[in-house]
């Protein structure tokens, strides 16, 4: 158990139990400790404190590398999103539908052989991967700029996912291109932060088997 950072309840600073924060939620903002309204104030070593250490009280912790995100013990297992695909017929003449029931953004959206390998109207897996990667990278870039003390005015990202037919269909490369307006930042620092975001955003990690390039332009 970590040492005390304060005593008493109310406006006192919090004591940490392992990675978890209790007596309120402690957050770090660029090295400064923020005071938030305290919850119940257990006595260290008491049965209540031991229960809180087990995570029975909805404890929160900071996500490593993202000081602004807290996760409850229940969320440690991860956040689950899902989509559905429906297909009828053979590969070339058949047709499919994609849906995202949680958001409702896609609702039986058409996709098929010709929308993937030709110019027929409809979506395709590569387009959806591109959208996911552009969105994830851009959020990661905003987060890492914030960690460095910069607030972007705008970030505009294009992701291109290339499907190669050589040796059978496979993703051959992903090209990210971001145009950013970030007051006060130098070009070299922006590039370093953008490279970090490209390397470490969750979608980049999931697609690590595919070569990923980044063009970063600071406006």
81 pLDDT tier (thresholds 50, 70, 90)? very high
Give percent above pLDDT 90 in the chain. Answer: 63
| Torsion angle defined by CA atoms of residues 80, 97, 126 and 65, in that order, rounded to the nearest 10 degrees | -10
Cα–Cα dist 51/191, whole Å: 46
Which of 32 and 218 is assigned the larger pLDDT?
218
Instruction: Give the pLDDT confidence of 4-55 residue by residue, as tens digits.
Output: 444 444 443 333 333 333 233 334 444 443 434 444 444 444 444 444 444 4
Name the pTM for this structure: 0.69
Domain boundary assignment for the chain: 16-77, 81-123, 125-219
Cα–Cα distances (Å) from 52 to 42, 58, 60, 122, in that order, read: 9, 8, 10, 51
Residue 92 has pLDDT above 70, yes or no: yes
Phi, psi of 211 (to 5 degrees): -60, 130
| Distance (Å, whole) CA 192 – CA 61 | 28
Q: Which of 59-63, 96-100, 112-116 has the lowest mean pLDDT?
A: 59-63
Provide the 10 A C-beta neighbour count for residue 28. Answer: 11
Dihedrals phi, psi of 125, to nearest 5 degrees: -60, -40
Token digits of residue 193:
């932060």
Q: pLDDT of 151-165, one tens digit each?
A: 999 999 999 999 999
The pLDDT of residue 83 is: 97
Nearest residue to 172 (alpha-carbon basis) of 217, 132, 207: 207
Question: Is 80 exceeded by the pLDDT of residue 133?
Answer: yes
Question: How confident is the model at residue 78, as a pLDDT?
Answer: 82
Token look-up 């990210």 returns: 176
Give the pLDDT score at 8.
43
- Which is the CATH superfamily of the domain at 125-219? K homology (KH) domain (3.30.300.20)
Statement: residue 138 has pLDDT above 80: yes
Which pLDDT does position 70 carry in this prediction? Answer: 60
Whole-number percent of the chain with pLDDT over 70: 65
């Amino acid at each position: 158990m970590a040492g005390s950072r304060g005593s008493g309840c109310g406006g006192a600073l919090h004591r940490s139990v392992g990675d978890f924060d209790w007596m309120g939620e402690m957050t770090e903002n660029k090295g400064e400790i923020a005071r938030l309204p305290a919850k119940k104030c257990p006595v260290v070593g008491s049965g209540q404190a031991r229960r809180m250490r087990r995570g029975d009280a909805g404890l929160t912790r900071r996500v490593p590398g993202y000081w602004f995100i807290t996760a409850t013990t229940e969320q440690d297992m991860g956040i689950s999103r899902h989509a559905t695909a429906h297909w009828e017929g053979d590969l070339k003449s058949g047709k499919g539908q994609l849906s995202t029931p949680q958001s409702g953004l896609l609702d039986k959206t058409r996709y098929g052989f010709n929308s993937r390998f030709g110019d027929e109207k409809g979506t395709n897996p590569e387009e959806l991967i591109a959208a996911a990667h552009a969105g994830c990278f851009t959020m990661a870039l905003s987060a890492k700029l914030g960690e460095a003390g910069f607030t972007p005015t705008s970030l505009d990202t294009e992701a291109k996912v290339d499907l190669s037919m050589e040796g059978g269909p496979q993703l051959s490369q992903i090209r990210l291109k971001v145009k950013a307006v970030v007051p006060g930042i130098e070009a070299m620092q922006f590039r370093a932060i953008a490279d970090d975001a490209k390397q470490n955003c969750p979608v980049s990690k999931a697609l690590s088997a595919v070569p990923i390039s980044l063009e970063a332009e600071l406006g």
